[in-house]
Structure formats: structure tokens, C-alpha cells
Structure 1
Amino acid sequence: MGRIVAITNLKGGIGKTTTVVNVSAGLALKGAQVLLVDVDAQGNLAMALGLKPRRTLYDVLVDGKRPEDCLVNARPNLDLLAANESLLTAQPELARRPDWARVLEQALRPVRSKYDFILIDCGGSLTVLNLNALTAASDVVVPTTVEPFSIKGLEMLVKQIIQLKGSTSSLRAIVPTMYDPRTRQSVALLEQLQAQYGAQVTPPIRVNVRLSESSAQGKTIYEFDPRSRGALDYAVLVETLSTLWNFKPPAAPLSAPSPNGAQAPVASPEVHPLTPAPLRSAASASTPAPVVAGAGSILSSTCPICGGPLQRATVAGYRVAYCDHCRYRQQELVSGPRR
């Protein structure tokens, strides 16, 4: 059965939809079958993917349509069950049902086995459908900006998860978004998050205007600007979540799209832009070899902060080395300027 992941926060404007779009696109590029479900009446998912679906989640929940008849193919391996303002009228009706908290879970049941991941984009409040999403979810991912009010909202959400599900075991990841390492407040609040939630805090998504520009153009960041910091950060997040969920990509995943929408060839058949580079064999583990990156520079194989092994990935024009233990990250652009 597909893993149902609710991506939620009680605060709006913190990068939920951007995270849903680019995490799902990254998983699809790795070869996963992914379904996106929008439970927010603003319908931002369809706009961020450049789509105008004819049927929406309203047709499934209220009119009783089959979910497979209301899906639209957004990208290879990536389907969408969209939303629009009609959900505003649907929620009072759903609230009158005796099984109101499990309406969404029951609606997704016929298609769940067809997908590796079902990602639900939640709105910025505890609506009936957001509670449905949390009830249906096996995993909860919480994007949060590195700001005081957002972190306070995170604490409230954790309490709601405990009240609804009995524990925080479903809270898999907290994703710091709009992180600006140049400001003391961002650095201090990120350290506070890491101290409070430990390994649940993923590597942060840095401030990058290309992320908002890509959504405005109806493209994923990998399509719009695969060399941007936003593409790099979300690709690393995809790797982090894939490891967390123990997702094993198929033998021949999709190549990353070029900015003009075409599928760009992968430089090596063994290395995919959203797949970690092959690890060294056990025989060579005693003599770590550096990873040669662009312009002859070198990415080390051990973390200079904690001394642990560095994970490696080739990501949208970058070679990246990052440490899962202390969050150290180093990247080199293979060619061309960074924007």
C-alpha cells in the first residue's frame, strides 16, 4: 500500500505547496509512482504545476465520483487530484457525516495500492479536510519557516497530532524553509529546532527567489532552474526522505528535465541526478577516495565537522557531499555559474 504523507502546518505562507510540488517531483524523477492530493480550497497545487483540471476532490467526496476518474497526469509518474473553491462548500457537508474524520481515507482506498507515495497538501488551519488528512496519513511532514511565529505554530501542531493520533510517532520530518544563513536569527532558530526535535529536522531549504518564480510559471524547480540553490536543497531533501522511508528506486529512473522542459540526458548511467552516487566497496573503505567535482576541486569523503562518512549525490548540475549526522553540506557546480 502506498505511504500517505500529510504535509501540513497551522501557519500559511511557509512553503507547504512548494515543498509538496518539489518533493513529489523529485520522488517521481527517482522512479516512484506519486499521487498529489490537494485539500486546500485555494487550489494552489494545480496552479504550481501549470494545470487546470476539469474534475477535483469535490467530485470524489461529495458527488461520489471514482478517484481514478478525477485524476490528471501532471508529469511522468506524477498524478494530481486537484482542489478548488468548491471545497469551501464541501466541508460543512462532510462535517455532518458520522464518519467525517475518515472520508478522505476511504476515498483514497481504491487507488492507494497503485502508488508508492500519496502526498496531501494541507491548508494553513485545522479544517475538516486537514483533520481528515492527518487521520489518513501514515507520515506527517511539517515545513516551517525559521521564524519565531512559525516555530510557535509548530509546537501547537505537535500538540494537535498527539491529540489526534495519540503520539508523535507519525511526525517524520520537520523541514526548515526560507532559511537565510546570513542572519543570526535564522541560524539561532535553526539550532533551536535541531536541539528540540533532533534528527527529525531535515537539512534546510535556503531562501531562493527561483522557487517562487518556478511556481508562478507552473513548473517544478528542476524544470525551471535545475542549477539553482532551490533545486539543490530540494533534491537533498528528497534524498533524505527517500532514505527515511527506505524507498528503493527502480533500476532505470527518469532523467532530470532540462529548463526547456525536455528530458536532459544523465551523464553516467550509474548516477541519476536525484540518486546518491554509488558508495565505495567495503574493500576500499579503508582508503577513502575524494570525489572530483567541477573545475578540478575536490569534495571530501569524510565530514570535516564530525568525522563521519559523507553521503554523495549528483544533483541537477551539482556534485554534493552531505553529512546526515551534523548537517554539514558541501557542493560544487559541475559547470556554469550559480544563480
Structure 2
Amino acid sequence: MGRVITVTNLKGGIGKTTTVVNLSAGFALRGSRVLLIDTDAQGNLAMALGVQPRRTLYDVLVDGAKLLDCVSSARPNLDLIAADATLLTAQTEIARRPDWARVLDKALAPVRSHYDVILIDSGGSLTLLNVNAISAATDILVPTTVEPFALKGLEVLFQQLKRIKGNTSALRAIVPTLYDTRTRQSVELLDTLRERYGNLVLDPIRVNVRLSECTAEGKTIYEYDPRSRGALDYAQLVEQMSTRIQLGPATPPPAPIAAPTPLVNGVSAVNNATCPNCGRPLQRASVAGYRILYCDHCKYRRQELAAGERR
């Protein structure tokens, strides 16, 4: 039975759709079968992936169409149920039903065995469809910018999660986005976030103009600029979330490349490779088509394409 990850935050403009696109693309590159659900009437997922859908979530929730009949193929292993402005009227129709908070969950039930992961992109307010998205989730991922108002908004979000689901046990991770290492405020607020929420807070997604550019081109960051820091950060998020939801190892494994020193598999130390900053042994992970070398001590990171440079 596939995991259902709802990506949510009551604040807009904090990188939810960017996170959904590149997290899902990373899962698909690992070999997982992934379905994206867009519950935002702006329909940004289709644009971000360069997809022109024939049918949308409205057909499923209001007209009763089978979900698999409304799927658009976005990439290998990656399907999409798109949204558009018709969802604005769908909420009025759904609100009349006695099971209004579980309509999406019921629509997903027949297809959960078809996919390893279902990711739901939600809008920036607590609409009826966002309540549905939270109700359907087995796991909740919260992107947030590292700003005072955004951190305050997390407290409000967690209160709503308790109200809708009864507790916050489905909360799987908080992902700091648009993180700028050059500003003291970002660094200090990230420390505050980690002190408050502990290991729920994953490594941040750094500010990278390539992430905005790839969306405008209808490409994932791995397609647009696989050597950018945005690609590295999201590849690392894919690995961290795969571990948290127990998604399993990547299949097929990355093609081997020549290396000056022998490497061990998994996240064990790299033989004879040391951090250029602190001299400690480097660790290794293979994720979303990348080989990542990193230092647990000083946070040094280096990425390589596992199959050589892309054309």
C-alpha cells in the first residue's frame, strides 16, 4: 500500500510546489512509482512539469470519474492528477456531502496499491480541499522559509493538524526552504527551528535561482541543471525522506563510474577519502541519480552524477 505524503503549509510562497515537483521526480528516478495530486486551483504542478492534461481532479471529485482514467503521464514512473480553476467550484459541490472531509481519501483508496508514493500539493490556506489532503495523508511534510512570520505560522499549522487528524503523529518532516547562508537571520532562525522541533527538521534547501528557472521551463531541477546546488539539496531530501517513510533502496542501482579510490556501498565511509575542510572521513550516499560525498562533522558536501555528465 503506497504512502500518501501531503506537502502543506498555511503560508504561500514558501516552495511547496517546487518541493513536490523535485521530491517526486527524485523518487521516480530511484525507481519508485509516483503519483502527484494537485489540490490547488492555480494548477501549478502541470505547468512546472510541462504537462497539458486532458482531465483534472475536478472530474474525479465532482463528476465521479475513476482516478486512473484522469492520470497524465509526466515522466517515467511519475503520473499526475492535475488541477485547474474548476476546483474553485468543486469545493461548493463537495461541501454538500456528509463525507466532505474524506472525499479525496476515498478517491485514492482504489489506486494506492498502484503506486509506491502519492504526493499531494496543497494550497496556501486551510480550504476544504486542503482539509481533504491532510485527512488522506499517512505522512505530512512541511516546507517553511526561515523567517520570523513563517516560523510563527508553523504553530498555527500544527494546531490545525491536531484538529483535523486528532494528533500530529503523521508529521514526518519540516524542510527549511529558500535558505540563505549569507544572512545572519537565516542562520539564527534555522538554529531556533532545530532547537524547537529537533530531528523533524531536515537539511535546508538553499536559495538557488535555478529552481525558479526550471519551473518556468517545465523541467525538474535534475533535468534543467543537475549540477546546481538546488539539485544537490533536493537529491539529499529525496534520500532523507526515503529513509523516513521506509521507501527502500533505489532500483535500478546507479551505473558505476571510475573513481580514484575504492568506494563502499550505502552510507559507509569512503575508503581513503577525507574531508578537505576538517580531514575527517567522508560519507557516501547514492540518491536520485547522484553520488554524494559528505562530512558529518563540518557539513562539507560534494555531488557527482552517478552515470557521468548529462547532455
1:121 CA drift (Å):
0.1
1:279 CA drift (Å):
4.6
Structure-2 separation of matches of 1:206 and 1:176: 8
Structure-2 separation of matches of 1:129 and 1:186: 32
Contact 2:29 2:288 in 1 (8 A): no
Structure-1 separation of matches of 2:287 and 2:3: 26
Residue aligning to 1:14: 14
The one-letter code matched in structure 2 to 1:90 is A
Structure-2 separation of matches of 1:57 and 1:301: 50
- 1:319 has 2:292 as partner: yes
1:319 CA drift (Å):
3.5
Shift >4 Å, 4+ stretches = 297-303, 314-318, 333-336
Q: TM-score, normalised by structure 1?
A: 0.83
Structure-1 separation of matches of 2:198 and 2:210: 29
Residue aligning to 2:134: 134
In the alignment, structure 1 segments of 5+ residues that lack a partner are 256-265, 270-275, 304-309
Residue aligning to 2:271: 289
In the TM superposition, 1:188-337 aligns within 5 A as 188-249=188-249, 251-253=251-253, 266-268=255-257, 277-280=265-268, 289-291=271-273, 302=281, 310=283, 312-313=285-286, 319-323=292-296, 328-332=298-302
Structure-2 change in CA distance of 1:129 and 1:200 (3 Å): same
Structure-2 separation of matches of 1:322 and 1:133: 37
Structure-2 separation of matches of 1:226 and 1:46: 21
Structure-2 separation of matches of 1:136 and 1:334: 37
1:334 CA drift (Å):
5.0
Instruction: Give CA-to-partner distance per residue, 1:50-78, whole Å, 9 cap, x none.
Output: 01101000000011111000001100100
Higher relative contact order (CA 8 A, sep 6+): 2
Residue aligning to 1:156: 156
Structure-2 separation of matches of 1:48 and 1:322: 33
Structure-2 separation of matches of 1:112 and 1:23: 18
User: How many residues end up aligned between the 2 structures?
Assistant: 302
Structure-2 separation of matches of 1:5 and 1:128: 18
1:312 CA drift (Å):
3.2
Contact 1:37 1:81 in 2 (8 A): yes
Residue aligning to 2:43: 43
Residue aligning to 1:5: 5
Structure-2 separation of matches of 1:121 and 1:224: 21
Structure-2 change in CA distance of 1:299 and 1:334 (3 Å): farther
Residue aligning to 1:183: 183
Structure-2 separation of matches of 1:12 and 1:277: 40
Q: Percent same amino acid at aligned positions?
A: 59
Structure-2 change in CA distance of 1:148 and 1:250 (3 Å): closer
Contact 1:11 1:150 in 2 (8 A): yes
Structure-2 separation of matches of 1:189 and 1:204: 12
Contact 2:281 2:295 in 1 (8 A): no
Structure-2 change in CA distance of 1:242 and 1:78 (3 Å): same
